[in-house]
């Protein structure tokens, strides 16, 4: 057994004896490991244990092992790594700037299971044969998704999605090159005016980051309630309540789906409602909330702004046979004001590709749209569309026509 392995075993024993929580007290663990290394070095001089080749490397390895994610911790600490996924113990991938990369990290089946169990310890969520999928938040804000056999063929499949860049305001996205100053100024005014915004895009296009940045434009006096499957949003709002879904218990009871959260949120006196993502029948509850006069924002997977509206017209039909497109389509047209569509380009950079207004009209069962900003292979350019509800901008003293012309 090498020196690092001996040291790790001793530190784990000290943690057990002293009752330290390594996840919540990482600073305390770092101090404990430093003291253990000093004692270990004294013993190595007497020849009772093998010497440590690199004390600093040993310190990091032990802290990562007992308070972090062991061999995966270096990827969590790397600011360029956006996502980590494990297809099998010998296939650990990371994504850097949107590009996948097979790493040299080699694990065992036992290590993968131990890492997932360690990640789930704080979340209170479970992963077993009765519940072979799990979504959970890690203490650092990362999102974990794991699947076990026999849903997978042989090995556990694990994804850890990091939030490399956390944009709290639209100006942050301008600095990153995802948005032009002109479009950012318009979106900031639209959120202040209380327009309902749908954020669309593919996986990893930056939808949650955009939602977080849009929320930064909400006036400080307003009360915000967020509903998510797993906590991901990090708002700077003063009056904010965050809700997340809950898995069923072993007896199959106690599940809280997203539909329930949206309904409960309306009882909490929200000035703004933010739904992390609509995938299924909760789209109906979102539309009902919008019809109740609560300004809202949410995300949806789609390939374009118009496809996002088509999808939002389809998902509520999953709520039951009594829900008809004759109700849903005009409701979507009247409830959604703007669609912000994001894309991941060939270089891995996330950009806003179009901002589309929904005037509120339906023609032959299709929701009409108007382009406000579009990208034709370059940066966003002003199109000829106008958003609905110009009176809301006027109430705030905003000259909408001048704003859209790019004048301050």
- Please state, in angstroms and rounded to a whole number, the distance separating the CA atoms of residues 144 and 155: 16
User: Measuring CA to CA, how many Å separate 91 from each of 42, 65, 96?
Assistant: 40, 20, 16
pLDDT for res 164: 59
pLDDT for position 321: 84
Mean pLDDT, the chain, integer: 91
What is the CATH architecture of 168-403? 3-Layer(aba) Sandwich (3.40)
Percent pLDDT > 70 in the chain is 99
Q: Quote the tokens at residue 113.
A: 């299971």
CA angle 50-55-59, nearest 5°? 110
Indicate if the pLDDT at residue 1 is higher than 70.
no
Query: Distances from the Cα of 49 to the Cαs of 59, 193, 375, in angstroms?
Result: 16, 68, 64
Residues 380-407: pLDDT tens digits? 999 999 999 999 999 999 999 999 998 6
CA distance 215 to 172: 12
Kindly report, residue by residue over 178-198, the tens digit of the pLDDT. 999 999 999 999 999 999 999
- DSSP code per residue over 116-171: HHHHHHHHT---BTTB-EEEEE-TTS-EEEEE-BTTBSSS-EEEEE---S---SHH
Q: What is the pTM of this model?
A: 0.85
Q: Read off the pLDDT of residues 304-327 as tens digits, 9 standing for 90 and up.
A: 999 999 999 999 999 988 888 889
CATH fold for the domain made of 69-163: Beta-Lactamase (3.30.450)
**Which of 232, 213, 68, 227 is CA-nearest to residue 145?**
232
Ordered by start, the domain boundaries in the chain are: 1-67, 69-163, 168-403
Portion of the chain with pLDDT greater than 90, in percent: 62
Q: Does residue 376 have a pLDDT over 60?
A: yes
């Amino acid at each position: 057994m090498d020196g690092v392995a001996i040291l790790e075993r001793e530190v784990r024993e000290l943690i057990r004896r002293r009752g330290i929580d390594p996840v919540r007290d990482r600073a305390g663990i770092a101090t404990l490991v430093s003291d253990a290394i000093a004692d270990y070095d004294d013993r190595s001089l007497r020849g009772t244990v093998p010497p440590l080749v690199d004390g600093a490397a040993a310190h990091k390895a032990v802290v990562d092992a007992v308070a972090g994610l062991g061999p995966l911790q270096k990827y969590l600490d790397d600011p360029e790594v956006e996502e980590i996924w494990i297809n099998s113990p010998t296939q650990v991938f990371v994504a850097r700037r949107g590009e996948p990369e097979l790493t040299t990290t080699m694990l065992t089946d036992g290590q993968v299971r131990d890492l997932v169990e360690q990640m789930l310890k704080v979340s209170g969520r479970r992963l077993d044969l009765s519940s072979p999928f799990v979504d959970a938040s890690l203490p650092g804000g990362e999102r974990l998704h794991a699947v076990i056999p026999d849903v997978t063929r042989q090995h556990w499949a694990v994804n850890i999605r990091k939030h490399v860049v956390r944009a709290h305001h639209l100006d942050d996205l301008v600095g990153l090159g995802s948005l032009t100053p002109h479009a950012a100024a318009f979106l900031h005014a639209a959120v202040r005016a209380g327009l309902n915004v749908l954020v669309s895009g593919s996986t990893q296009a930056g939808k949650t980051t955009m939602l977080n940045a849009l929320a930064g434009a909400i006036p400080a006096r307003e009360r915000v309630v967020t509903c998510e499957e797993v906590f991901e949003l990090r708002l700077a709002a003063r009056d904010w309540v965050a809700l997340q879904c809950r898995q069923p218990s072993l007896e199959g009871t106690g599940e809280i789906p997203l539909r329930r959260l949206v309904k409960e949120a309306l009882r909490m006196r929200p000035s703004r409602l933010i739904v992390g993502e609509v995938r299924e029948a909760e789209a109906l509850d979102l539309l009902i909330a919008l019809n109740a006069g609560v300004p809202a924002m949410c995300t949806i997977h789609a390939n374009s702004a118009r496809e996002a509206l088509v999808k939002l017209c389809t998902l509520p039909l999953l709520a039951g046979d009594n829900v008809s497109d004759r109700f849903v389509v005009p409701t979507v047209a009247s409830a959604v004001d703007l669609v912000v569509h994001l894309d991941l380009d060939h270089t891995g950079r996330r950009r806003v590709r179009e901002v589309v207004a929904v005037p509120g009209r339906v023609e032959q069962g299709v929701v009409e749209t108007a382009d406000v900003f579009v990208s034709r292979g370059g940066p966003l350019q002003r199109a000829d569309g106008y958003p609905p509800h110009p009176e809301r901008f006027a109430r705030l003293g905003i000259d909408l026509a001048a704003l859209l012309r790019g004048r301050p």
